[in-house]
């Protein structure tokens, strides 16, 4: 399958993020067209395109917009989830740096469609340059009359606020994000009510991922048929993939959904020279890992489901034979333990117990029964935590155990760093072998 640069098509032009650079390539033409179509037609076009949420969950975008009650007399809000923090996920940050105006035009069109006059971009706090870039991009759009009152004489008013968070992975969960944006601790809320009914300030709110919204202008401009001509039956369209890890040429690749990992690996120059693939994780650390035998499965929502994992963010991390699975899983559990918000017991307590047992195994001091205890712990968290963070924490271990059981068994007598010299997995030279 060939690559299909769409959002990234003009990244070789240094001003791709400015209104001027964007307008050279049809920028803001979709907005004009949307104003002619009318809001309901825009929603239908996005529905027909088959666009699904690109943040990981894959919910149909047009359907989400149609859940916003109309004529309810309440303000509606669009909140862009730009809290990209999942280990492995690294596509929204580049999009905001280089395709800032795609996101802004998409926000205006989306908000026009479900009748919101106020949009927010919630960006994780640890990326000042991205926050600067989006503030400047919003100013640029105001200066060109694309934001503010009566945009292009349409009678539609729209304002955008850029918001910097403060380092909490949980704020990528949509209701936690809304709590944070309301100036509270970033803890998730019970659903229902869903944000489309009672979101920001208890008003109807759509929370969409950066890539989802940035994909909207091209769909409106070229039409739903154009977009849905790419991808598979159930996974329409084009996706931004980010291939990272032990490959020769890591980076961003835009391709139709349904491309395979084997093809992407080829474009990324293959596994680093002299090494072989051990495992890869397609959707961020929260999805079950895969191996060589899954390289030909289509990278689509249903294709990944068919091999027991999830497409998630579609940002595959690749690890070669020098990597200790026990060390990787322990590292991810360190992350979930640290990021658990503390609201619910299964996640707050469970992540600490899992992490503790994994550290024992990584140190070669585990007990034989720990392997089963860990499975039991994961099963007790999965589906019983308040939000998806607990599920995510319970997911990496069972699959890793299934695929690489002997490495966990070795954890009862041999440290992971003795089985796999950490220096061998390092990608720069000069680190002493142990």
Partner 1 sequence: MALTEETRAQLLEIVARYPVPRSALNPMLHLVQSEEGYVSPEGIELCAEIVGLAPAEVAAVATFYTMYKRRPVGEHHIGVCVNPQCGILGGEAIFDALSSDLEIGNDETSADGKITIERIECQAACTYAPVATVDWEFMDDMSVDKMRDVVAKLRSGEEVQSSRGPVVQGFRAAERAIAGMDDGQADAGANNADANMQRGLTVAKEQGMPAVDGGLKS
Q: What is 360-415 written as a DSSP string?
A: HHHTT---TTHHHHHHHHHHHHTTTSSSHHHHHHHSHHHHHHHH-HHHHHHTTTS-
Contacts of partner 1 in 89-108 (CB under 8 A): 89-90, 92-94, 97-98
In the complex, what is the shortest distance from the CB of residue 368 to partner 1, in angstroms, rounded to a whole number? 25
Which of 175, 215, 260, 285 contacts partner 1 by CB under 8 A? 285
Indicate the residue among 57 and 424 with the shorter CB distance to partner 1. 424
Indicate the residue among 276 and 367 with the shorter CB distance to partner 1. 276
Distance CA 94, CA 314 (A): 14
Stretch that binds partner 1, among 52-60, 126-134, 295-303, 373-381 (CB under 8 A): 126-134
DSSP 47: H
Per CB under 8 A, 355 contacts partner 1: no
Contacts of partner 1 in 131-160 (CB under 8 A): 131-133, 135-136
Which of 250, 298, 303, 350 contacts partner 1 by CB under 8 A? 250
Indicate the residue among 126 and 384 with the shorter CB distance to partner 1. 126
Per CB under 8 A, 73 contacts partner 1: no
Confirm if 123 and 168 have CB atoms less than 8 A apart: no
Distance CA 420, CA 434 (A): 10
Per CB under 8 A, 78 contacts partner 1: no
Per CB under 8 A, 184 contacts partner 1: yes
Confirm if 103 and 142 have CB atoms less than 8 A apart: no
Per CB under 8 A, 111 contacts partner 1: no
Per CB under 8 A, 45 contacts partner 1: no
CA geometry: angle at 333 spanning 208 and 315, to 5°? Answer: 40
Which of 38, 69, 148, 167 contacts partner 1 by CB under 8 A? 167
Stretch that binds partner 1, among 28-36, 102-110, 370-378, 400-408 (CB under 8 A): 28-36
| SS3 of residue 199 by DSSP | coil
Per CB under 8 A, 367 contacts partner 1: no
Contacts of partner 1 in 253-272 (CB under 8 A): 253-255, 267-268
Per CB under 8 A, 185 contacts partner 1: yes
In the complex, what is the shortest distance from the CB of residue 369 to partner 1, in angstroms, rounded to a whole number? 26
Distance CA 330, CA 46 (A): 41
Distance CA 61, CA 49 (A): 9
Per CB under 8 A, 44 contacts partner 1: no
Per CB under 8 A, 20 contacts partner 1: no
Which of 24, 59, 67, 129 contacts partner 1 by CB under 8 A? 129
Distance CA 178, CA 182 (A): 6
Confirm if 75 and 116 have CB atoms less than 8 A apart: yes
Indicate the residue among 5 and 145 with the shorter CB distance to partner 1. 5
Distance CA 412, CA 331 (A): 18
Confirm if 116 and 77 have CB atoms less than 8 A apart: yes
Among 386, 388, 354, CA closest to 371: 354
Q: Residue 177, CB half-sphere, CA atoms under 13 Å: how many?
A: 27
Among 304, 301, 312, 317, CA closest to 237: 301
In the complex, what is the shortest distance from the CB of residue 151 to partner 1, in angstroms, rounded to a whole number? 18
Indicate the residue among 60 and 422 with the shorter CB distance to partner 1. 422
How many residues bind partner 1 (CB under 8 A)? The answer is 108
Contacts of partner 1 in 296-335 (CB under 8 A): 315, 317, 319, 323, 327-328, 331-332, 334-335
265-277 burial string, b = 16+ CB within 10 Å, else e?
Answer: bebbeebbeebeb
Distance CA 418, CA 201 (A): 53
In the complex, what is the shortest distance from the CB of residue 268 to partner 1, in angstroms, rounded to a whole number? 7
Stretch that binds partner 1, among 21-29, 54-62, 345-353, 401-409 (CB under 8 A): 21-29
In the complex, what is the shortest distance from the CB of residue 196 to partner 1, in angstroms, rounded to a whole number? 19
User: Binding mask 191-230 vs partner 1 (x if CB under 8 A, - otherwise)?
Assistant: ----------x----------------x--xxx--x---x
């Amino acid at each position: 399958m060939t690559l299909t640069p769409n959002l990234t098509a003009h990244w070789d032009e240094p001003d791709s993020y400015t209104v001027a650079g964007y307008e050279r390539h049809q920028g803001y033409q979709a907005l004009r067209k949307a104003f002619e179509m009318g809001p309901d037609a825009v929603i239908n076009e996005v529905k027909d395109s088959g666009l699904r949420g690109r943040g990981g969950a894959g919910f149909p975008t047009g359907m989400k917009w149609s859940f916003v009650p109309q004529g309810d007399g309440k303000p509606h809000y669009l909140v862009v989830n730009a809290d990209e923090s999942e280990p492995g996920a690294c596509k929204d940050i580049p999009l905001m740096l280089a395709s800032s105006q795609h996101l802004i035009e998409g926000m205006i069109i989306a908000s026009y469609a479900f009748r919101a006059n106020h949009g927010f971009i919630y960006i994780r706090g640890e990326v000042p340059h991205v926050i600067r870039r989006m503030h400047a991009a919003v100013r640029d759009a105001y200066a060109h009359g694309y934001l503010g009152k009566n945009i292009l004489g349409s009678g539609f008013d729209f304002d955008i606020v850029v918001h910097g968070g403060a380092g909490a992975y949980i704020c990528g969960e949509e209701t936690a994000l809304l709590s944070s944006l309301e100036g509270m601790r970033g803890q998730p809320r019970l659903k229902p009510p869903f944000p489309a009914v009672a979101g920001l300030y208890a008003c109807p709110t759509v929370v969409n991922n950066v890539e989802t919204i940035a994909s909207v202008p091209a769909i409106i401009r070229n039409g739903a048929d154009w977009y849905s001509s790419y991808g598979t039956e159930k996974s329409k369209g084009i996706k931004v993939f980010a291939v990272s890890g032990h490959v020769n040429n890591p980076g961003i690749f835009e391709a139709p959904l349904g491309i395979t990992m084997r093809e992407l690996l080829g474009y990324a120059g293959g596994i680093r020279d002299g090494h072989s693939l051990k495992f890869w994780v397609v959707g961020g650390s929260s999805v079950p890992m895969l191996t060589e035998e899954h390289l030909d499965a289509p990278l689509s929502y249903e294709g990944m489901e068919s091999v027991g994992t999830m497409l998630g963010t579609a940002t595959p991390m690749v690890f070669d034979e020098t990597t200790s699975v026990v060390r990787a899983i322990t590292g991810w559990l360190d992350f979930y333990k640290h990021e658990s918000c503390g609201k619910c017991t299964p996640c707050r307590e469970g992540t600490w117990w899992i992490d503790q047992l994994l550290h024992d195994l990584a140190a070669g001091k585990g007990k034989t029964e720990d392997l089963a205890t860990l499975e039991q712990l994961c099963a007790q968290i999965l589906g019983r935590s308040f939000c998806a963070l607990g599920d995510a924490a319970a997911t990496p271990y069972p699959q890793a155990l299934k695929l690489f059981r002997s490495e966990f068994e070795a954890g009862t007598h041999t440290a992971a760093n003795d089985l796999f010299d950490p220096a061998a997995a390092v990608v720069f030279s000069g680190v002493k072998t142990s």
